[in-house]
Structure 1
Amino acid sequence: MSADDERVGFYAIREELPDPETFAALREAAGMPPRSLEGIERGLPNSLYGVIAVHEPSAEVVGMGRIVGDGGTVYQISDMAVHPDHQGRGLGTQIMEHLEAYLEAEAPPRAYVTLVADVDGFYERFGFEETRPASKGMYRRTE
């Protein structure tokens, strides 16, 4: 286990990104909208930071999260997913704690950190709050 690994029961939290196929499979297993393999292959290397959760007995990547952005003024926590078979073991919390530690160490004062919350009550524990009524989140997908 390297200095960048942390053990959580039968799991290791590692500071790295999943391969594109694992990324796509984890998103699907977690019920998240799919991304094209082309987009994943282009996008993953542009991540600022990533964390995976590995089930050590099987060596399977079962969780992930990453930070994207410009590295100075804007950061977005993205692609937080834990395979349903491995949820409820604190892996999402461990992943978020690593992402938060990265932001604490790397993000300059007054940087804007965003995310799209799809789990009620989870991200609030890390200090995130809804933007409404001051602003609203919006999105658009390409075809």
Structure 2
Amino acid sequence: AGTRLLSKEELSAPDPQAPGTLLAHYAPNAKLRLMEAAQLRTALDILGPDAAHIAVYARTPLRSASARLIVRRMPDDAAATAQQLFAVLREFDAAGARLIWVETPPADPAWDGVRDRLTRAAASA
């Protein structure tokens, strides 16, 4: 048994990228948008009871007149948020959300990884 030779196609194929380096690391089916807390409040106030098929992931407590809005509280801790982020996005997809509004993480360096993952998820949505 010798070494297998690579085909022409295998030789010309681009190098695989590590999953974390892809622009769309985890791409939810719903369109994801990063928003400041004030933008979230305004959008929810405007939609009122008509806010349907929307999921919100935010640190800031938010109120909505819609019983059909899906809201999950983002932890105040960057590490805890990073640990649950993709599970929350998958939960929103499974619940049928068409829009996912996420409160923009703090500018603190501890949040850089979370911000990067969210930016990648928003880029593909």
Query: Which TM-score tier does this pair reach, normalised by the shorter chain?
Result: 0.3 to 0.5
Higher helix share: 2
| Higher RCO, 1 vs 2 (CA within 8 Å, ≥6 residues apart) | 2
Computing the radius of gyration from Cα coordinates, the structure with the larger value is 2
Question: TM-score, normalised to structure 1's length?
Answer: 0.29
Higher strand share: 1
